[in-house]
Structure 1
Amino acid sequence: MGKKEIRFLPVEDIEVRSSGDEGSTTSTIAGYVVKFNQRSQLIWGEFYEKVAKGAFARSLAENVIKAFWNHRSDFVLGSTKNGTLRLWEDNTGLRFECDLPNSTWGKDAFESISRGDVDGVSFGFSVRQDSFTYLKEEDVYERTLIDIDLREISPTPFPAYPDSEVSQRSIDQLGITTKEQRKLEKEKLLLEIDLIGLC
């Protein structure tokens, strides 16, 4: 199992709604965590990323997934365990609905999202299965996330995408060569060709 990674995607709209009887109000937020097969920004200048349809299916069946406020596990907004967080895949992507708690941070989250101060959703995951394709014309790789071990989602004001909680070292663990490495390999090959031509 790989290290935890975090991705942020700006969403077109985080929906907000409030309903309830006298003395009891439920505030709900909803939207897409991620849309399938949409290319990310360039990560570390080395690869693009997209999520394949079905990548969350196993997690949705097996995991208890939490909604945190800005990835802070001490500010829990909802959980699939008790049904306050609902997640499902449709033809577009991974959709969520979260009934916010009647707490200070729940009310603050609702207010910040309603005002548009918070307009993105991040998700924390590790990768069970992925694949890389080298795009020669762009000299970059494209990573497809095929099976994701999803643990949490978070409304957040700051993009963790393209920066992630995976260290730069882990790019080596992904098994791809960087642009700098490819440039050095090309220069070495050209030098070898020149030396062969002198013989």
Structure 2
Amino acid sequence: MTAEPERRSAAIEVRAKGRRLEGYAALFDAPAQIGGRFTETIRAGAFAGSLGRDVLALVDHDPGRVLARTRSGTLKLSEDSRGLAFGLDVPETQAGRDVLALAERGDLGGMSFGFSVPEGGDAWRGEERELRAVTLHEISVVLAWPAYDGTTIHARSAASGAPVRRTLAGLYLATLGG
């Protein structure tokens, strides 16, 4: 039986540029407390094996609200020294319009990603888990809660085009096994 994909929120920056969102869906070497049960970090290179896969961009992990996908070229993913970077073209759909409006106002909660861990893809040391290789299924714009206090989201002011910066305090949400 295949385990349900895990989901994680990440401290991220999202910028709205016209009808495009850019930012980070996950950061490397940023410890996260998972459900009060253990601490988890993501090693640089953990997403490398997934960059050629068809990965979706969703709203709140809902497959009924697709924003973009790598197969069509509307979602671009890459790893850099900081984390899993993304750029997505926001569709002219109700979900797309809602996400864009919230991004421009600075109301988005953050980003998250859904993944599974292949055999040997993680390492445990006591209550600490390091993700070394994951199979990425989706990234999600999270409307409500960012991963950590101090998460920042960037949007462009509609009037001036200047950056608008919001600092948000929030909760860490994660679901394990569904």
How does the TM-score come out when normalised to structure 2? 0.79
Deviations 1:129-156 (A, max 9, x none): 100112xxxxxx1100011110000111
How does the TM-score come out when normalised to structure 1? 0.71
- Count the aligned residue pairs: 151
Kindly indicate which of the two structures has a greater share of residues assigned to strand. 2
Matched, 1:105 2:95: yes
Match of 2:114 in 1: 124
Matched, 1:166 2:157: no
Q: Which runs of 5+ in 2 are unaligned?
A: 148-171
- How far apart, in 1, do the equivalents of 2:46 and 2:68 lie? 22
Match of 1:192 in 2: none
In the TM superposition, what is the alpha-carbon distance from 1:10 to its structure 2 partner? 3.3
Kindly indicate which of the two structures has a greater share of residues assigned to helix. 1
Q: Give the AA of the match of 1:151.
A: H
3-state SS, counterpart of residue 8 of structure 1: strand
Deviations 1:26-85 (A, max 9, x none): x00000111111101x22322100101110011112x20000111111111000001100
- How far apart, in 2, do the equivalents of 1:76 and 1:46 lie? 31
**8 Å contact from structure 1 (residues 6, 160) kept in 2:** no
Match of 2:24 in 1: 32
**8 Å contact from structure 1 (residues 33, 122) kept in 2:** yes
Match of 2:83 in 1: 93
- How far apart, in 1, do the equivalents of 2:9 and 2:144 lie? 8
- How far apart, in 1, do the equivalents of 2:104 and 2:73 lie? 22
Matched residues, percent identical? Answer: 34
